[in-house]
Amino acid sequence: MIDGPKPFPIEFRRDVVAVARKGQAPLSQIARDFGISESCLHRWLKLAEIEDGTRPGVTAAESGELRELRRRNKLLEQENEVLRLSPRPDRRPARSSAVHAPGGDPVNCQRRAAARGELI
């Protein structure tokens, strides 16, 4: 398996962007001096502007948050699927200790008794 080139350290990127922003030399010269391509320097400048808020785009923090939220959402969807496919527990209503008339609804019986102020 062939790995791509290792990314440059963030401190190095910040230093290169700072030098480029000073505007004391052409970007092509700065890129050559630091041993990177001119397109790489343009990309770093664009990303720095997004991070600073001077250019619209998704910041690294927002991108990380989106990635984490998508991961969490996927996990929750998988958990829901497992619960949906699992056998359902017995759905019989719990037995009520309320006394009610034969054929009457225990819930309504409890509500009527509560409305009268009676304890069940």
Give me the pLDDT at residue 93, please: 56
Give me the pLDDT at residue 119, please: 61
At residue 5 the predicted structure's pLDDT band, cuts being 50, 70 and 90, is: confident
Over residues 40-80, the pLDDT tens digits come to 999 999 999 999 999 999 999 999 999 999 999 999 999 99
Check pLDDT > 80 for residue 19. yes
Q: Are 30 and 19 in contact (CB under 8 A)?
A: yes
Give me the pLDDT at residue 4, please: 72
Distance between CA atoms of residues 46 and 44, nearest Å? 5
CATH 1.10.3470 for domain 7-54: no
Q: Give CA separation, 31 vs 10, 13, 59, 103, in Å.
A: 16, 11, 24, 87
3-state helix, strand, coil in the chain (%, to 5): 60, 0, 40
At residue 6 the predicted structure's pLDDT band, cuts being 50, 70 and 90, is: confident
Give me the pLDDT at residue 88, please: 75
Give this prediction's pTM.
Answer: 0.58
3-state secondary structure 61-95: HHHHHHHHHHHHHHHHHHHHHHHHHCCCCCCCCCC
Over residues 80-108, the pLDDT tens digits come to 999 998 887 765 555 555 555 555 556 66
In single-letter form, the type of residue at position 40 comes to C
